[in-house]
Structures are given as C-alpha cells and as structure tokens.
C-alpha cells in the first residue's frame, strides 16, 4: 500500500468517530463499554465490518455537509444577500444533513441487529448519562434543550 493510500485510510479511521459523534451517536464500539457489553468474538467482527463498510460513505457525507454549510455561510456573509441563492444554500444544507443522518441511522440499525436485546438496553442506558455521573442525562437526550446564556434574547 503506498503512503498516500495509507495516510488516507488512517485519516478515515480517525475521522469516523468524529462524524458519527457529530450526529449524536458516540462511537461506543471503540470504547470500554464494548467490553462491558460482553460482546462475542463474532459480534466484534460483525461490528467492525459494519463500521468499515460505512466509513467512506460517512466521510463523504460529512464533507458534503461541511461544503453546504460553507456555501450558506458565504451567502449569508455577502454584502447584499440574494434571498433566492440563500434559500437554495439552505436547502443544500438541509438535504446534506438529512443524508448524513440517514446513513448514520442505517449504520446504527445494522449495529443494533448485531446486539442482543439486553446488550442494546445496556448500551442505551450507558449512553443516556455522562460517564462518572450516574443518573445525569446529557443535554439533548431528554428534557428541554439548554440555551446559551451569553446570547441576548435566548435566556
């Protein structure tokens, strides 16, 4: 394998957790929780296959989201904003985010199908609270969203 391909593959491996994490799914398969779930060797193998098969598509889709967001930012920062172009840029962002969400959701479904019901329930229970703080839920996982206090009008 040449150096360029290896670098690209290595970058893809490290980018995947950031991509899925940005979509609200933590990469639990690379964390100690995976051992705590009591996964069999076959389950670990299947999980790695699903993640590997999804990686390139997720990276591609995250790039599309970032590109669409950059286009929208450019439109909004123009001296004179063209409503039609801005709305088109908004639609690109919405579509790109939807595709990424769909891909992450499909990967999540495939991962769910590998786990037993008990493993899935334990995973859900552990992901619903931050590590080290029993009973606490992360923002965005139940309850009202937290609004930034430093933004006027959002208190």
Quick check: 61 and 15 in contact, CB under 8 A?
A: no
Confidence of residue 152 (pLDDT cuts 50, 70, 90): very low
Domains of the chain listed by start with CATH number: 3-23+53-126 (1.20.120)
Name 33's Cβ contacts closer than 8 Å, sequence gap at least 6: 123, 126
Quick check: 107 and 26 in contact, CB under 8 A?
A: no
Higher pLDDT: 153 or 88? It is 88
pLDDT, tens digit (0-9, with 9 covering 90-100), for 76-116: 999 999 999 999 999 999 999 999 999 999 999 999 999 99
pTM score: 0.64
pLDDT, tens digit (0-9, with 9 covering 90-100), for 7-48: 333 344 344 444 444 445 567 887 888 888 999 999 999 999
């Amino acid at each position: 394998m040449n150096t360029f391909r290896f670098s690209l593959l290595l970058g893809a491996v490290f980018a995947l957790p950031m991509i899925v994490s940005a979509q609200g799914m933590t990469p639990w398969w690379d964390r100690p929780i995976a051992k705590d779930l009591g996964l069999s060797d076959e389950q670990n193998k299947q999980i790695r296959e699903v993640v590997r098969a999804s990686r390139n598509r997720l990276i591609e889709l995250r790039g599309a989201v970032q590109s669409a967001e950059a286009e929208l930012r450019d439109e909004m920062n123009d001296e004179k904003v063209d409503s039609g172009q801005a709305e088109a840029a908004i639609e690109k962002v919405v579509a790109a985010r939807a595709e990424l969400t769909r891909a992450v959701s499909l990967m999540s479904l495939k991962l769910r199908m590998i786990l037993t019901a008990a493993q899935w329930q334990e995973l859900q229970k552990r992901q619903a609270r931050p590590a080290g703080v029993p009973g606490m839920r992360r923002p965005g996982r139940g309850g009202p969203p937290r609004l930034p206090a430093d933004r006027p009008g959002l208190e």
